[in-house]
């Protein structure tokens, strides 16, 4: 069985095959029984999954050139979305953004069908991938201008969460296409081809429809919707309905001319609050005040004070790593086992110079240096016990740069080149003026997660 045969078989079986466990009914059929039994949470969850299942089948058939079946499953994608909307309305439930709503939006755009329900659904949380996809597809369905400030705020939130910069650059390509930033359709299509095919070289934990896996089988549905929105017509691998084979030359028969207008971002305020305490002594006072009363997830006080017998070991450890001439950091690390300083907004922990095993400052730094090419001028200051992180770390990682004694969040793709990794750093996003300032920010993130 070929890969495409396997994927199609699996998706059809999951969605449509009768199952003994479902009383001889298919996944599509059982939701009506669940609704009748008032199992609404389960029914709504299942229908939302079916929206995505139908769209995945449409995408796979689309990629194989079977447009008749692709169209049928695009229509079924919308039918499932409408059933979800109806079920919520019948039971006076507010329809929430669900995983896969972008599939329904894309299907509506490609087929030119206005469901009338998307505008009523709240957007996903800013700074996460679904938000970016939904904003792009919303613009494919409406006539509103593109809000640069809103996009920038979400991009900053993405960066703060250490997500990969390359993904943000891919989203930015879509914005350029939507707003007419390309000199020609040919250049736009060429850049898209390079961007999309390059995904096959990366292996993040991603959705099938993103095309990082099975790249040659998948159609970029976001870009296809954008091509519809901006009025482009022709034949291209990632267009609807005139799709073509992998690697074929695009043909433009109508130049795009329906680009989005742009709402420019306001100029930055000279007094804008970065959320960073730049003064080292003030940052240390902030840490002292709040770490003394920090509580874990159960609400119990967690004492981060370093035992007296460990304090003499800190200076030697930092010296061995090349972290010298930084008396404020030395004092902070002698006062606290920094791995015990909490931050609920991330699964990472601060690396301690003495305490812990894998998360020991020297051990984690050596791992990233030896196994993954982190530059020797960087010291990794926060680590993870998640297997996926220490087997293949992705995105941005917090480091101390020996050259200037500052803290950066450096992207995996660039962390072997310090000058490149730090050249566009922004205060409070991926740059902190000192370790004390960084730890104060770390503590503030913990406090924010508790409010």
Q: Tens digit of pLDDT for each residue in 97-119?
A: 999 999 999 999 999 998 777 98
pLDDT per residue as tens digits for the range 158-207: 998 999 999 999 999 999 999 999 999 999 999 999 999 999 999 888 89
Q: Pick the last residue of a domain from 122, 156, 179.
A: 122
Same domain, residue pair 117 and 134:
no
| pLDDT, averaged across the chain | 93
Same domain, residue pair 82 and 112:
yes
Q: Pick the last residue of a domain from 122, 141, 164.
A: 122
User: Is the pLDDT at 125 greater than 90, yes or no?
Assistant: yes
pLDDT per residue as tens digits for the range 63-83: 999 999 999 999 999 999 999
Same domain, residue pair 128 and 189:
yes
User: Is the pLDDT at 272 greater than 70, yes or no?
Assistant: no
Provide the domain count of the chain. Answer: 3
Same domain, residue pair 53 and 142:
no
Task: For residue 382, list its beta bridge partners.
Answer: 350
Instruction: State the pLDDT confidence band at 62, using cuts at 50, 70 and 90.
Output: very high
CA angle 233, 239, 245 (to 5 degrees): 115
Q: Residue 396: which CATH number?
A: 3.40.1580
What pLDDT, on a 0 to 100 scale, did the predictor assign at position 291?
92
φ/ψ of residue 424, rounded to 5: -110, 25
pLDDT per residue as tens digits for the range 141-153: 999 999 999 999 9
Instruction: State the pLDDT confidence band at 270, using cuts at 50, 70 and 90.
Output: very low
Question: HSE-up of 206 (CA within 13 Å, CB side)?
Answer: 18
Instruction: State the pLDDT confidence band at 451, using cuts at 50, 70 and 90.
Output: low
Same domain, residue pair 184 and 60:
no
What pLDDT, on a 0 to 100 scale, did the predictor assign at position 115?
75
What pLDDT, on a 0 to 100 scale, did the predictor assign at position 226?
98
What residue has token string 């099938």?
Answer: 208
What pLDDT, on a 0 to 100 scale, did the predictor assign at position 273?
54
What pLDDT, on a 0 to 100 scale, did the predictor assign at position 298?
82
Per-residue b or e along 309-327, where b marks 16 or more CB atoms closer than 10 Å to that residue's CB = eeeeebbebbeebebeebe
pLDDT per residue as tens digits for the range 305-357: 999 999 999 999 999 999 999 999 999 999 999 999 999 888 999 999 998 77
pLDDT per residue as tens digits for the range 352-372: 999 877 789 999 999 999 999
What pLDDT, on a 0 to 100 scale, did the predictor assign at position 268?
56
In a domain, 272, yes or no: no
**What's the rounded mean pLDDT across residues 85-89?**
94
Same domain, residue pair 20 and 55:
yes
Same domain, residue pair 344 and 357:
yes
Q: For the residues of 96-131, what is the DSSP string, one character each? A: PP-TTHHHHHHHHHHHT---S-GGGSPPPPTTSHHH
List the one residue out of 397, 294, 398, 378 whose CA is nearest residue 336.
294
Distance CA 99, CA 121 (A): 13
Same domain, residue pair 144 and 101:
no
Same domain, residue pair 311 and 352:
yes
pLDDT per residue as tens digits for the range 10-58: 999 999 999 998 999 999 999 999 999 999 999 999 999 999 999 999 9
**What's the rounded mean pLDDT across residues 135-145?**
95
What pLDDT, on a 0 to 100 scale, did the predictor assign at position 271?
40
Distance CA 137, CA 22 (A): 35
* Residues sharing a CB contact under 8 Å with residue 27, sequence separation 6 or more, in sequence order: 14, 15, 16, 19, 46, 50, 53
Q: Pick the last residue of a domain from 98, 122, 146.
A: 122
**What's the rounded mean pLDDT across residues 399-412?**
96
What pLDDT, on a 0 to 100 scale, did the predictor assign at position 390?
85
Same domain, residue pair 149 and 215:
yes
User: Is the pLDDT at 267 greater than 70, yes or no?
Assistant: no
pLDDT > 90 fraction of the chain, expressed in percent and rounded? 82
In a domain, 12, yes or no: yes
Same domain, residue pair 91 and 132:
no
In a domain, 29, yes or no: yes
pLDDT > 70 fraction of the chain, expressed in percent and rounded? 98
Domain that holds residue 438: 280-449
Same domain, residue pair 334 and 402:
yes
- Rg over alpha carbons for the chain, rounded to the nearest Å, is 25
What residue has token string 């961007």?
Answer: 195
In a domain, 274, yes or no: no
Distance CA 441, CA 265 (A): 26
In a domain, 425, yes or no: yes
Choice between 441 and 270, residue whose per-residue pLDDT is larger: 441
Lowest mean pLDDT among 98-107, 271-280, 407-416: 271-280
In a domain, 116, yes or no: yes
In a domain, 148, yes or no: yes
In a domain, 275, yes or no: no
């Amino acid at each position: 069985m070929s890969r495409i045969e396997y994927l199609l078989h699996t998706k059809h079986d999951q969605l449509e095959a009768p199952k003994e466990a479902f009383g001889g009914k298919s996944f599509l059929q059982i939701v009506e029984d669940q609704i009748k039994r008032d199992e609404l949470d389960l029914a709504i969850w299942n229908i939302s999954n079916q929206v995505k299942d139908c769209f995945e089948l449409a995408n796979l058939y689309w990629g194989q050139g079977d447009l008749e079946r692709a169209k049928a499953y695009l229509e079924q994608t919308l039918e499932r979305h409408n059933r979800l909307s109806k079920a919520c309305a019948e039971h006076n439930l507010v329809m929430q953004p669900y995983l896969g709503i972008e599939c329904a939006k894309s299907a509506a755009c490609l087929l030119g069908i206005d469901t009338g329900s998307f505008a009523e659904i709240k957007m996903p949380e800013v700074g996460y991938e679904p938000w970016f996809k939904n904003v792009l597809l919303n613009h494919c369905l409406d006539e509103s201008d593109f809000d640069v400030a809103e996009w920038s705020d979400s991009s900053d939130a993405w960066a703060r969460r250490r997500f990969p910069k390359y993904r943000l650059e891919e989203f930015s390509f879509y914005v350029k296409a939507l707003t007419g930033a390309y000199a020609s359709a040919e250049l736009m299509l060429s850049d898209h081809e390079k961007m999309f095919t390059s995904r096959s070289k990366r292996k993040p934990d991603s959705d099938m429809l993103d095309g990082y896996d099975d790249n040659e089988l998948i159609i970029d549905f976001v870009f296809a919707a954008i091509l519809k929105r901006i009025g482009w017509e022709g034949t291209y691998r990632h267009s609807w309905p005139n799709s073509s084979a992998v690697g074929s030359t695009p043909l433009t028969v109508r130049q795009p001319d329906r680009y989005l207008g742009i709402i420019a971002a306001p100029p930055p305020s000279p007094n804008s609050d970065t959320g960073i305490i730049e003064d080292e002594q003030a940052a240390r006072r902030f840490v002292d005040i709040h770490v003394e009363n920090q509580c874990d997830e159960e609400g119990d006080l967690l004492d981060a004070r370093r035992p007296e017998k460990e304090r003499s070991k800190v200076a030697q450890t930092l010296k061995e790593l090349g972290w010298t001439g930084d008396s404020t950091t030395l004092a902070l690390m002698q006062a606290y086992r920094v791995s015990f300083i909490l931050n609920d907004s991330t699964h990472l922990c601060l690396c301690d110079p003495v305490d812990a095993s894998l998360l020991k400052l020297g051990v984690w730094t050596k791992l990233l240096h030896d196994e993954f090419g982190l530059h020797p001028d960087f010291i990794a200051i926060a680590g993870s016990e998640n297997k996926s992180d220490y087997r293949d770390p992705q995105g941005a990682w917090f480091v101390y740069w020996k050259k200037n004694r500052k803290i950066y969040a450096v992207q995996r793709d660039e962390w072997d080149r310090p000058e490149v990794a730090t050249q566009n750093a922004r205060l409070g996003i991926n740059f902190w003026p000192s370790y004390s300032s960084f730890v104060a920010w770390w503590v503030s993130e913990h406090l924010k997660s508790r409010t």
